């Protein structure tokens, strides 16, 4: 039975309440979403492109939706400290799907707006109407379900020519006392020649019960603009998350995207980028470390729709325990996108006999005069290197951990924000140390109480 | 029973790789302050012997004993053998991209200190030690910030091995064909490094094909390993004899 039906029923029964707590533009998009959902199913394990992730199953439990927008009494979030050392960020903290708190937004330069959709019309008139729900593909059931139930979200808007040096940090905290479906929405609009760096940190509170997060991020980059987007996930085994990032990149605009999955339960990321203007550029450098029975799954589609665009992707996985990791990547070079340069690479380490990694790099070229390559390699830790390190007295588990870290270091080298890079290095070191220690047992640590990212 | 006069005691050591028996009963006694050379034709088991003593999991020990300072080596993990004072200089040092020499050596040294119940070295103490030990083999300070052996020349790799030996201060060092791939200058530097590290309390086993290295590192004993057994032991003059006559006479005499 399709998991969608219960949400359609919920929507039909309570659409008045849902709409009452939302801006009109959000309500306007629901009709299309509903039509999609009435005629489609969520992907199941084994469907094309879904080797390990069962999206239908993520939504199958009887999940609660906070349609009346009951505020969350969160000492949790209040106590929640999020400082990357030596780096000053302006923060927005979201608990479940509601704004909890902001910190230091007043320190952002003029022309940078960070607000909820509820305040978007006041703070940044016209933007929501123009972009919300217009970028992400409402024909995708996962996106449509998000659009159907979404009541609020965060808008980041940078005005023409404004360079926002101060990184913006969006902390998404899941703290559910009953099983919940949390629908989060993010809209990022950079006007011409604007620049901005965004760090998102997704966490789950230790006492939270099994829940599902549906996330849709829409990005529009006007000509000459530049967005660096680091998406860190450090949740726990009880959390299922499906995230869709849809980006449109115009002439000479640049998008650098780093999905970093340190811990998760089931995590599926769809990353869809359209390079729509000449010399647009996209870089995706991501990593995932999985252990126990976790699933990390990244699927990227990069469409080269215009000539002289460049793209580069490097995704690295280390899978331990009984975990599963999957990467499916498609580069599609459309008619007329000549002088495209597009590269895609997926490198993986299977660190235990029962872990599995699935990889499927794909390239479709409908145009002459392009430079493209794709590749994938999956192997085990180098036994000779392990013995060499042990013979120098480095204990086996530590040697394993050092080798796994070393494997990830080129992804970290791509992180241009230096304090963040140092912090990520430390987090990955800590993560891999626990992996190497336990080998297979659940670590079940309460990551979010001392949110490492932060 | 621990006899302080004996550092390494190997009795009837047998080992195989897959199902092929390579070591067929090795007997060897090494005392503190001694230098032993092990020579022998290709495929006689020289590298296997060093690998088995260091605990390389590729080999299966099928019989015999080996002890270092009275401690049963064969029951220890490779890291604990190192902590007990065994050091193997690899014939082919492994490149480890992404692990810096500094982190590698700090992890190694602090693991040993922990095993011995000592506190880890502070960052400044550690760097000072690195500086001092680098001089033993005239190793460029830049190499320390690079990944372990990555992009090192053949000579740099071997010098790096001796540098690690200088830091870890082993009781017994096994140099597995340390001369292979070295030009004459590098050979001199490496050999002089080994000689500088020599004390009355430690010992060295030099595995080599050629007499050349033994001009620089003077052995007290020369053993000939053939078909998995030490078939002949004599003083340093044996190396010269082998250089002159080759291994054919050994093969004739001991081909069974």
Each residue of A408-426: pLDDT tens digit?
988 999 998 888 888 888 8
Q: How far does CA A194 lie from the centroid of its chain? A: 22
Give the CA dihedral B141, B145, B151, B153, nearest 10 degrees: 20
Phi-psi region of A381 (alpha: psi -120 to 50; beta: other; left: phi over 0): beta
Residue A431: what pLDDT? 86
B168–A390 C-beta distance less than 8 A:
no
Provide the 8-state DSSP code for A429.
Answer: H
Residue B247: band (very low, low, confident or very high) from pLDDT cuts 50, 70, 90: confident
A18 and A183 in contact (C-beta within 8 Å)?
A: no
Chains A, B: CB contacts within 8 A come to: 80
Residue B1 lies in a domain: no
B214 and B223 in contact (C-beta within 8 Å)?
A: no
Residue B3 lies in a domain: no
pLDDT in tens, A126-172: 999 999 999 999 999 999 999 999 999 999 999 999 999 999 999 99
Backbone angles phi and psi of A45, in degrees to 5? -60, 135
Q: Which of B78, B82, B115 has the most A C-beta neighbours within 10 Å, making it the best mutation to test the interface with A?
A: B78
Q: At what angle do helices A141-149 and A4-20 cross, to 10 degrees?
A: 30
Cβ of A390 under 8 Å from any chain B Cβ? Answer: yes
CA distance A30 to A15: 10
CA distance A303 to A309: 10
Element (H, E) at B43: none
**SS3 letters across A34-76:** HHHHHCCCCCCCCCCCCCCCCHHHHHCCCCECCCCCCCCCCHH
Tokens of A10: 């919920």
pLDDT in tens, B129-151: 999 999 888 888 887 788 999 99
Residue A393: band (very low, low, confident or very high) from pLDDT cuts 50, 70, 90: very high
A108-117, A298-307, B210-219: range with lowest mean pLDDT: B210-219
Residue A82: what pLDDT? 53
> For B113, which residue in chain A has the nearest alpha carbon?
A393
A390–B108 C-beta distance less than 8 A:
no
Tokens of A428: 């990955």
Residue A208: what pLDDT? 87
Residues in chain A within 8 Å Cβ distance of B107? 389, 394, 398-399, 402
pLDDT in tens, A202-246: 998 888 899 999 999 999 999 999 999 999 998 889 999 999 999
B78–A403 C-beta distance less than 8 A:
no
Cβ of A389 under 8 Å from any chain B Cβ? Answer: yes
Residue A75: what pLDDT? 62
Tokens of B70: 């009275």
Q: What is the mean pLDDT of residues B207-221?
A: 90
* Helices and strands in chain B: count of H runs, count of E runs: 10, 12
Asked whether the predicted pLDDT for residue B211 surpasses 70, the reply is yes
> For B56, which residue in chain A has the nearest alpha carbon?
A387
First to last CA, chain A: 40
For tokens 């987090």, the residue is: A427
Across-strand partners of A234?
A: A203, A263
Q: Which of A385, A386, A388 has the most B C-beta neighbours within 10 Å, making it the best mutation to test the interface with B?
A: A388
Of A387, A399, A407, the CB nearest to B98: A407
Q: Model-level pTM? A: 0.86
Q: What does the mean pLDDT of chain A come to? A: 91
Asked whether the predicted pLDDT for residue B209 surpasses 80, the reply is yes
Residue A320: what pLDDT? 92
Asked whether the predicted pLDDT for residue A120 surpasses 70, the reply is yes
Residue B33: what pLDDT? 95
CA distance A403 to B99: 7
Residue A121: band (very low, low, confident or very high) from pLDDT cuts 50, 70, 90: very high
pLDDT in tens, A26-82: 999 999 999 999 999 999 999 999 999 999 999 999 999 998 888 776 565 555 555
Of B56, B82, B147, the CB nearest to A392: B82
Side-chain-side CA neighbours of A343 within 13 Å: the count stands at 6
CA distance A409 to A406: 5
Asked whether the predicted pLDDT for residue B202 surpasses 70, the reply is yes
Cβ of A403 under 8 Å from any chain B Cβ? Answer: yes
Q: Write out residues 31-70 of B within 8 Å (CB-CB) of A.
A: 54-57
Residue A78: what pLDDT? 56
> For A384, which residue in chain B has the nearest alpha carbon?
B94
CA distance A355 to A244: 25
Q: What is the mean pLDDT of residues B24-34?
A: 96
Q: Which of A318, A349, A379, A392 has the most B C-beta neighbours within 10 Å, making it the best mutation to test the interface with B?
A: A392
Residues in chain B within 8 Å Cβ distance of A384? 94
Residues in chain B within 8 Å Cβ distance of A390? 55, 77-79, 82
Q: What is the mean pLDDT of residues B80-93?
A: 96
Across-strand partners of A92?
A: A102, A170
- Give the CA distances from residue A424 to residues A15, A60, A158, A257, A406, in Å, rounded to whole numbers and listed in that order: 42, 34, 26, 15, 13
Provide the 8-state DSSP code for A180.
Answer: B
Of A383, A396, A402, the CB nearest to B99: A402
The CATH number that applies at residue B156 is 3.40.50.300
Cβ of A432 under 8 Å from any chain B Cβ? Answer: no
Side-chain-side CA neighbours of B69 within 13 Å: the count stands at 13
SS3 call for B229: strand
What ipTM was estimated for this complex? 0.96
Asked whether the predicted pLDDT for residue B71 surpasses 90, the reply is yes
Residue B143: what pLDDT? 79
Residue A453: what pLDDT? 45
Q: What is the mean pLDDT of residues B198-209?
A: 94
B17 lies in which domain range?
8-254
Tokens of A368: 């002459």
Residue B2 lies in a domain: no
Rounded to a whole number of angstroms, the distance from the CA of A51 to the nearest CA of chain B is 31
Residue A450: what pLDDT? 42
Structural domains of chain B, count? 1
Residues in chain A within 8 Å Cβ distance of B104? 389, 392, 394, 402
Asked whether the predicted pLDDT for residue A449 surpasses 60, the reply is no
Other beta carbons within 10 angstroms of residue B116's beta carbon come to 9
pLDDT in tens, A248-277: 999 999 999 999 999 999 999 999 999 999
């Amino acid at each position: 039975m399709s998991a969608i039906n219960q949400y359609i029923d919920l929507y039909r029964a309570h659409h008045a309440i849902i709409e009452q707590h939302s801006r009109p533009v959000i309500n306007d998009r629901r009709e299309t979403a509903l039509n999609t959902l009435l005629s489609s199913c969520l992907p199941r394990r084994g469907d094309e492109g879904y080797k390990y992730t069962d999206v239908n199953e993520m939504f199958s439990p009887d999940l609660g939706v906070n349609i009346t927008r009951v505020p969350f009494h969160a000492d949790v979030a209040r106590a929640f400290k999020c400082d990357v050392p030596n780096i000053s960020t302006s923060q927005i903290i979201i608990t479940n799907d509601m704004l909890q708190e902001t910190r230091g937004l007043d320190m952002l330069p003029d022309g940078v707006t960070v607000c909820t959709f509820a305040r978007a019309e006041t703070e940044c008139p016209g933007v929501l109407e123009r972009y919300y729900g217009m970028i992400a593909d409402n024909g995708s059931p996962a996106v449509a379900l998000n659009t159907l139930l979404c009541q609020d979200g965060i808008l980041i808007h940078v005005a023409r020519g404004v360079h926002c040096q101060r990184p913006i940090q969006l902390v998404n905290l899941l703290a559910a006392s009953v099983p919940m479906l949390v629908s989060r929405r993010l809209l990022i609009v950079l006007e011409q020649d604007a620049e901005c760096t965004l760090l998102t940190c997704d966490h789950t509170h230790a006492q939270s019960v099994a829940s599902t997060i549906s996330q849709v991020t829409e990005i529009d980059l006007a000509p000459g603009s530049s967005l660096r987007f680091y998406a860190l996930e450090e949740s726990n085994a009880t959390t299922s998350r499906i995230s869709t990032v849809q980006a449109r990149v115009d002439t000479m605009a640049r998008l650098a995207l780093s999905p970093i999955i340190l811990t998760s339960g089931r995590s599926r990321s769809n990353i869809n980028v359209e390079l729509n203007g000449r010399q647009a550029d996209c870089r995706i450098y991501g990593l995932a470390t999985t252990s126990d029975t976790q699933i990390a799954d990244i699927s990227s589609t990069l469409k080269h729709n215009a000539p002289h665009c460049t793209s580069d992707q490097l995704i690295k996985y280390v899978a331990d325990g009984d975990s599963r990791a999957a990467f499916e990547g498609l580069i599609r070079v459309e008619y007329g996108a000549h002088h495209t340069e597009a590269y895609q690479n997926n490198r993986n380490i299977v660190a235990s006999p029962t872990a599995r990694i699935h990889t499927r790099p794909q390239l479709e070229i409908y145009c002459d005069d392009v430079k493209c390559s794709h590749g994938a390699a999956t192997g085990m830790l180098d036994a000779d290197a392990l013995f060499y390190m042990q013979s120098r007295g480095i204990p086996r588990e530590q040697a394993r951990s050092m080798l796994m870290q070393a494997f990830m270091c080129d992804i970290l080298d791509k992180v241009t924000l230096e304090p963040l890079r140092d912090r990520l290095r430390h987090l990955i070191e800590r993560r891999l140390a626990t992996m190497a220690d336990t080998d297979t047992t659940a670590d079940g640590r309460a990551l979010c109480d001392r949110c490492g990212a932060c | 029973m621990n006899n302080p006069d004996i550092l390494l005691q190997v009795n009837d050591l047998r080992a195989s790789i897959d199902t092929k028996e390579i070591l067929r009963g090795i007997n060897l006694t090494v005392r503190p302050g001694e230098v032993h050379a092990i020579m022998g034709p290709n495929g006689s088991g020289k590298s296997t012997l060093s690998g088995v003593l260091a605990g390389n999991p590729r080999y299966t020990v099928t019989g015999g004993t080996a002890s270092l300072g009275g401690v049963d080596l064969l029951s220890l993990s490779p890291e604990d053998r190192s902590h007990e004072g065994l050091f193997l200089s690899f014939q082919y040092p492994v490149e480890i991209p992404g692990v810096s020499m500094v982190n590698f050596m700090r992890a190694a040294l602090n693991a040993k200190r922990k095993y011995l119940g000592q506190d880890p070295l502070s960052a400044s103490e550690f760097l000072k030690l690195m500086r001092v030990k680098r001089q033993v083999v005239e190793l460029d300070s830049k190499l320390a910030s690079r990944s372990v052996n990555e992009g090192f020349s053949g000579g740099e790799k071997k010098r790096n091995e001796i540098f690690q030996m200088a830091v870890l201060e082993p009781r017994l060092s096994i140099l597995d064909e340390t001369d292979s791939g070295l030009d004459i200058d590098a050979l001199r530097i490496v050999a002089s490094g080994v000689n500088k590290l020599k004390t009355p309390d430690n010992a060295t086993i030099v595995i080599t094909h050629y007499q050349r290295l033994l001009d620089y590192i003077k052995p007290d004993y020369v053993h000939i390993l053939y078909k998995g057994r030490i078939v002949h032991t004599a003083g340093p003059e044996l190396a010269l004899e082998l250089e002159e006559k080759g291994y054919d006479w050994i093969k004739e005499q001991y081909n069974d």
